[in-house]
């Protein structure tokens, strides 16, 4: 089965069109403040409108109140919300009830410490395991994850790049991958060639 691939932190039409043409399953727009990749809702909408319905559009949030998340998600026209922060199971349920697919992003260390009943309570649509500082291009210590792997399919993020995605997927066994920094020439600036290389490398799996 083909691995699910998301290219995150897109800010230009070229990068969106290249990701879609390369065969990405999802594209991400950062709607959290304070990142060089942050877009306002109208800018994200202009990009999301270039994406065919077969490709998932994801708004990325960090530590924002649920009302703000839903408002930005509606105004930007994304289909899914990726929540990095202190969201609760009821936030996840409310976002789902509002019609969004919810990707719950958790740092690998916090996930390892999460009791099984808390994991079950979230009932997110997809689980993304990431480094502690999302979007920073850092990998994480995988030892706790290997010792107690998630009991559900999950997406790997954090420091992925064209030259390590095959190895890390082989070692950790996720069903999907998410990349931002590893397909950039400088922080916040996507490299179209690296986007193509990353999707091709993930497709070889």
Ligand X SMILES: O=C(O)c1ccccc1NCC(=O)[C@H](O)[C@H](O)COP(=O)(O)O
Nearest to 98 by CA among 123, 115, 73: 73
| Comparison of 137 and 144: residue with beta carbon closer to ligand X | 137
Q: Facing residues of 184 across strands?
A: 190
Q: Is the dihedral of CA 11, 55, 85, 187 positive or negative?
A: negative
| Comparison of 58 and 77: residue with beta carbon closer to ligand X | 58
Give the integer Cα–Cα distance in Å for 69 and 129. 20
* 141 labelled catalytic: no
| Comparison of 62 and 104: residue with beta carbon closer to ligand X | 62
**What's the token pair of residue 83?**
């929540």
Residues that bind ligand X (CB under 6 A): 8-9, 30, 32, 35, 37, 60, 62, 84, 130-131, 134-137, 157-160, 178-182
Nearest distance, CB of residue 117 and ligand X, angstroms: 26
Nearest distance, CB of residue 42 and ligand X, angstroms: 19
Among the listed residues 40, 91, 125, 130, the single catalytic one is 130
- When CB distances to ligand X are compared, the closest residue is 135
* 8 labelled catalytic: yes
Among the listed residues 8, 25, 91, 178, the single catalytic one is 8
H or E, element range at 121:
helix 116-122
The distance of Cα 99 from the centroid of its chain, to the nearest Å, equals: 18
Catalytic center residues: 8, 130
């Amino acid at each position: 089965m083909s691995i699910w691939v998301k290219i995150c932190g897109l800010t230009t039409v070229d990068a969106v069109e290249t990701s879609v043409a390369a065969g990405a399953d999802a594209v991400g727009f950062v709607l959290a403040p304070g990142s060089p990749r942050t877009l306002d809702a109208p800018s994200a909408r202009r990009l999301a409108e270039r994406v065919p319905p077969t490709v998932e559009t994801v708004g990325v949030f960090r530590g924002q109140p649920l009302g703000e998340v839903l408002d930005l998600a509606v105004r930007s026209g994304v289909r899914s919300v990726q929540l990095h922060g202190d969201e609760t199971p009821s936030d996840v349920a409310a976002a789902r009830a509002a019609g969004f697919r919810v990707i719950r992003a958790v740092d690998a260390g916090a996930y390892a410490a999460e009791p099984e009943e808390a994991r079950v309570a979230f009932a997110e649509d997809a689980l993304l395991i990431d480094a502690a500082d999302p979007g920073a291009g850092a990998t994480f210590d995988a030892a706790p994850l290997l010792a107690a792997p998630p009991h559900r399919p999950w997406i790997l993020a954090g420091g992925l790049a064209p030259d390590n995605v095959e190895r890390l997927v082989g070692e950790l066994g996720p069903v999907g991958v998410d990349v931002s920094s590893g397909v950039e020439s400088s922080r916040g600036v996507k490299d179209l060639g690296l986007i193509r290389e990353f999707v091709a490398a993930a497709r070889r799996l």
